[in-house]
C-alpha cells in the first residue's frame, strides 16, 4: 500500500479526466461531488469499496445541526446560530473559530439542503437519554449542551438530527438518498479503485491521482483539483498505536474496513499538516437507562473525576486519564439497573451491604469511597454538586443500601472508538501545509480531516456527518470556483 506524491512528468498518459476527482464516496465525498457537479463540473468519484456509503452508511445517521432548523422549530426548540456557536467554541475551543462560525451561520440552510437532496428527517424529538435511537425520531440531545459550564454560556438545544428510515439503518438511508442523487445528476463513480498517489504538476498543484483497479495501475486527471474524503484511520492498527497510545487493546474501532488513514497519508505525501492525531472519541455509555446517571463514577482511589451527566464520550475521555484507566459506577438500591448498551459489556462487580465492604471489594483504599460518598450526599441533599455541578435533575443522595458497583474501566469494558485527527484544512476546506498555506488543487473534508472537536471530551454525536456533509459541499464549491 503506497501513499505517495508523484510528478506529472512521470505520468505516462491519463486514462481518464474530470474537473474534480473525489477520493471516497462517504458523506463528505458525496456532498463534494454534488456541489461540484451543480457548479457545472465533470465529477468523478473514486471509491475503494465495491459500492458507496463508507462508514457513514454504517453509522446511526446523526447530523449535528442547529441554529433553528426546521426540525428544531417543529419540535418547539428556539435555537440560534449564536447559541450553537457559543456552545461549540466554549466546549471545543476556538482554534477553528472562523470555520465553526461559518458552519453555525449556514446550518439552517444546510439542513434544508440535505432535505432537498432526499435525506428524510421526522419532526419529532426523543426526550430521554440515549446514545442512538431505536425509533425514528428526528431530534435528540447528543452532546454536552446541558452540562455545566456550557449550559451557562449558551442556551441548550438538542442538535442531533437523525435521518429517518422505516426498518432501515438511518446512516444507510441518508447515504442511499445522496448517492442516488449523485448518480441522477451525472456524477461518475469508479468503485473498487484504490488511490495510491496524488499527482502534482511543476507548480505543485495537485492535478490527478494514480490508482489501482482490477489489477491495473491507472492515472486520472483532475482539471481543477482533488477532494480527499476517505475517512478516518480507526482501522489502521499501526497508525492508531502510534498516534493514540491511550487506547487499550480491548478498544474496538468503528467504521468501514477502508478507514485505514489512506487519505491522511496521501495528504501527508503532498506536504499537508495534520492536527489532533491523538484525538479519539471512545464510548461505552453508562446510559440508558438515564437513572444510572444519578449514580457516581469514581476512580480506583474512590475519587469522582467527571460530572456523571456528561455526554458518554466525555465520560470515556476522563476515564481514559484515570490511574490504570480504572473506573466504577456506584449505585444504590433505589436506582439500580443494568446498563443497556450491550457492546459496552460493563460487568456488575458485586452488591455490597455497605460502603466499607465495597471499598474492600473494589480494592479502594479504606475510607476513601466513604469520604467521597459522605461529601456527595451532604451536597446532593441540598441539590448541589460543588465539585462538578452535575445538573440537579440527576442529583440524589446515595443512601439506600445495599449498593452495587459496575466496572466501567477503560481497559476492562469494551470501548468503541473513532479517530478525530486528520488533515488540517481552512474554512474553505483547502488542505493546509505545515506553514499554513493552502496546497493548490487539494481540498479535504470529513473524517480524514481534523474534526472540530479534537477530543472525546468535547465530541457530540453527529459531529462527523454534520461538518462532514457541510464541508464536503464547501470543498466541491471551492474547487469549482478556482
Q: Per DSSP, what are the bridge partners of residue 433?
A: 272
Residue with cell 451491604: 353
Among 354, 386, 392, 482, binds its own copies (CB under 8 A): 386
Q: Which stretch binds its own copies (CB under 8 A): 19-27, 87-95, 216-224, 402-410?
A: 87-95
- Cβ atoms of 101 and 86 closer than 8 Å: no
392 binds its own copies (CB under 8 A): no
Q: Does 482 bind its own copies (CB under 8 A)?
A: no
Which listed residue (58, 74, 86, 291) binds its own copies by CB under 8 A?
86
Identify the three-state secondary structure at position 223: strand
Is residue 377 near its own copies by the rule CB under 8 A? no
Minimum Å distance from CB 101 to its own copies? 6
Site for its own copies in 250-279 (CB under 8 A): none
Q: How far is the CB of 420 from its own copies (least distance, A)?
A: 18
Calpha distance 207→195 (Å, rounded):
14
Residue 115 near its own copies by CB under 8 A: no
Instruction: Identify the sign of the CA torsion 251, 256, 259, 260.
Output: positive
Nearest to 482 by CA among 205, 103, 208: 205
Decide whether 72 or 96 has the Cβ nearer to its own copies. 96
Stretch that binds its own copies, among 62-70, 106-114, 125-133, 294-302 (CB under 8 A): 294-302
431 is written with which cell numbers?
488542505
Q: CB-based contacts of 423: which residues, under 8 Å, 6+ apart?
A: 228, 263, 264, 267, 272, 273, 274, 275, 431, 432, 444, 448, 449, 450
Nearer to its own copies, 119 or 317 (CB): 317
| CA triple 411-244-130, angle to 5 deg | 60
Residue 345: which residues within 8 A CB-CB, separation 6 or more?
A: 284, 413, 414
Contact flags string 126-165 toward its own copies, x per CB under 8 A? -----------------------x--xx------------
d(CA 148, CA 146): 7
Residue 263, classed as helix, strand or coil, is helix
What's 449's DSSP letter? B
Q: At its nearest, how many Å lie between its own copies and the CB of residue 65? A: 19
Task: Check residue 391 for interaction with its own copies (CB under 8 A).
Answer: no
Residue 314 touching its own copies (CB under 8 A):
no
Q: Look up residue 214 and give its three cell numbers.
A: 482490477
Alpha helices in 215-284 (DSSP H): 237-243, 262-269
Tell the smallest beta-carbon distance from residue 304 to its own copies (Å): 8
245 binds its own copies (CB under 8 A): no
| Residues 426-455 contacting its own copies, CB under 8 A | 435-437
Say if CB 437 and CB 473 are below 8 A apart: no
Contact region for its own copies (CB under 8 A) — 88-96, 177-185, 252-260, 469-477? 88-96
- DSSP assignment of 192-219 equals SEEEEEEEE-TTS-EEEEEEEETTEEEE
| Closest CB to its own copies among residues 98, 238 | 98
Selected from 101, 123, 146, 212, the binder of its own copies by CB under 8 A is: 101
Of positions 25, 85, 111, 403, contacts its own copies by CB under 8 A: 85
Vertex 450 angle, CA 254 and 25, to 5°: 60
* Least distance in angstroms from the C-beta of 82 to its own copies: 7
The answer to the question of residue 323 lying near its own copies (CB under 8 A) is yes
For its own copies, the closer of residues 226 and 307 by Cβ is: 307
Beta carbon nearer to its own copies, 108 or 404? 108
CB of 229 to its own copies, least distance (A): 24
In the chain, what are the helix, strand and coil shares in percent, each to the nearest 5? Answer: 35, 20, 45
Nearer to its own copies, 241 or 434 (CB): 434
For position 306 contacting its own copies by CB under 8 A, the verdict is yes
Binding region for its own copies (CB under 8 A) out of 85-93, 157-165, 189-197, 400-408: 85-93
Exposed / middle / buried, residue 186 (Cβ in 10 Å: 0-12, 13-18, 19+):
exposed
Residues that bind its own copies (CB under 8 A): 82, 85-86, 89-90, 94-95, 97-98, 101, 149, 152-153, 299-301, 303-306, 321-324, 386-389, 435-437
Amino acid at each position: 500500500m503506497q501513499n505517495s506524491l508523484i510528478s506529472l512528468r512521470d505520468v505516462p498518459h491519463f486514462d481518464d479526466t474530470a474537473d474534480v476527482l473525489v477520493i471516497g464516496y462517504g458523506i463528505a465525498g458525496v456532498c463534494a461531488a454534488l456541489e461540484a457537479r451543480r457548479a457545472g463540473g465533470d465529477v468523478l468519484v473514486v471509491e475503494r469499496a465495491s459500492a458507496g456509503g463508507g462508514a457513514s452508511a454504517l453509522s446511526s445517521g446523526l447530523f449535528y445541526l442547529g441554529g433553528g432548523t426546521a426540525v428544531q422549530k417543529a419540535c418547539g426548540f428556539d435555537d440560534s446560530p449564536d447559541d450553537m456557536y457559543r456552545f461549540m467554541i466554549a466546549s471545543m475551543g476556538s482554534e477553528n473559530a472562523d470555520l465553526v462560525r461559518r458552519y453555525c451561520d449556514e446550518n439552517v440552510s444546510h439542513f434544508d439542503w440535505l432535505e432537498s437532496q432526499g435525506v428524510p428527517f421526522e419532526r419529532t424529538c426523543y426526550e430521554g437519554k440515549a446514545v442512538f435511537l431505536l425509533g425514528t425520531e428526528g431530534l435528540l440531545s447528543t452532546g454536552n449542551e446541558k452540562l455545566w459550564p456550557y449550559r451557562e454560556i449558551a442556551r441548550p438545544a438538542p442538535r442531533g438530527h437523525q435521518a429517518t428510515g422505516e426498518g432501515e439503518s438511518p446512516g444507510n438511508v441518508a447515504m442511499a438518498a445522496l448517492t442516488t442523487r449523485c448518480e441522477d445528476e451525472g456524477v461518475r463513480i469508479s468503485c473498487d479503485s484504490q488511490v495510491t498517489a496524488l499527482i502534482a504538476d511543476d507548480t505543485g498543484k495537485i492535478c490527478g491521482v494514480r490508482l489501482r483497479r482490477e489489477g491495473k495501475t491507472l492515472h486520472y486527471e483532475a482539471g481543477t483539483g482533488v477532494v480527499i474524503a476517505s475517512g478516518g484511520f480507526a482501522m489502521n492498527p499501526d497508525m492508531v498505536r502510534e498516534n493514540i497510545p491511550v487506547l487499550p487493546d480491548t478498544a474496538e474501532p468503528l467504521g468501514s474496513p477502508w478507514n485505514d488513514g489512506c487519505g491522511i497519508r496521501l495528504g501527508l505525501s503532498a506536504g499537508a499538516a495534520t492536527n489532533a492525531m491523538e484525538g479519539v472519541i471512545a464510548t461505552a455509555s453508562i446510559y440508558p437507562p438515564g437513572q444510572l446517571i444519578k449514580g457516581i463514577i469514581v476512580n480506583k482511589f474512590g475519587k469522582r473525576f467527571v460530572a456523571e451527566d456528561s455526554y458518554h464520550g466525555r465520560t470515556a475521555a476522563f476515564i481514559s486519564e484515570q490511574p490504570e484507566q480504572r473506573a466504577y459506577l456506584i449505585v444504590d438500591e433505589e436506582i439500580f439497573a443494568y446498563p443497556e448498551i450491550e457492546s459496552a459489556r460493563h460487568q456488575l462487580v458485586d452488591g455490597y451491604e455497605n460502603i466499607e465492604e465495597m471499598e474492600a471489594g473494589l480494592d479502594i483504599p479504606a475510607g476513601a469511597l466513604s469520604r467521597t460518598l459522605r461529601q456527595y450526599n451532604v451536597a446532593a441533599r441540598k441539590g448541589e454538586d460543588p465539585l462538578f455541578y452535575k445538573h440537579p435533575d440527576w442529583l440524589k443522595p446515595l443512601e439506600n443500601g445495599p449498593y452495587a458497583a459496575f466496572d466501567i474501566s477503560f481497559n476492562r469494558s469494551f470501548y468503541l472508538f473513532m479517530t478525530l485527527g486528520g488533515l488540517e484544512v481552512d474554512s474553505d476546506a483547502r488542505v493546509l501545509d505545515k506553514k499554513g498555506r493552502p496546497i493548490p488543487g487539494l481540498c479535504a473534508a470529513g473524517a480524514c480531516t481534523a474534526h472540530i472537536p479534537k477530543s472525546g471530551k468535547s465530541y457530540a454525536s453527529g459531529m462527523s456527518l454534520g461538518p462532514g456533509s457541510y464541508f464536503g459541499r464547501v470543498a466541491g464549491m471551492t474547487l469549482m470556483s478556482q
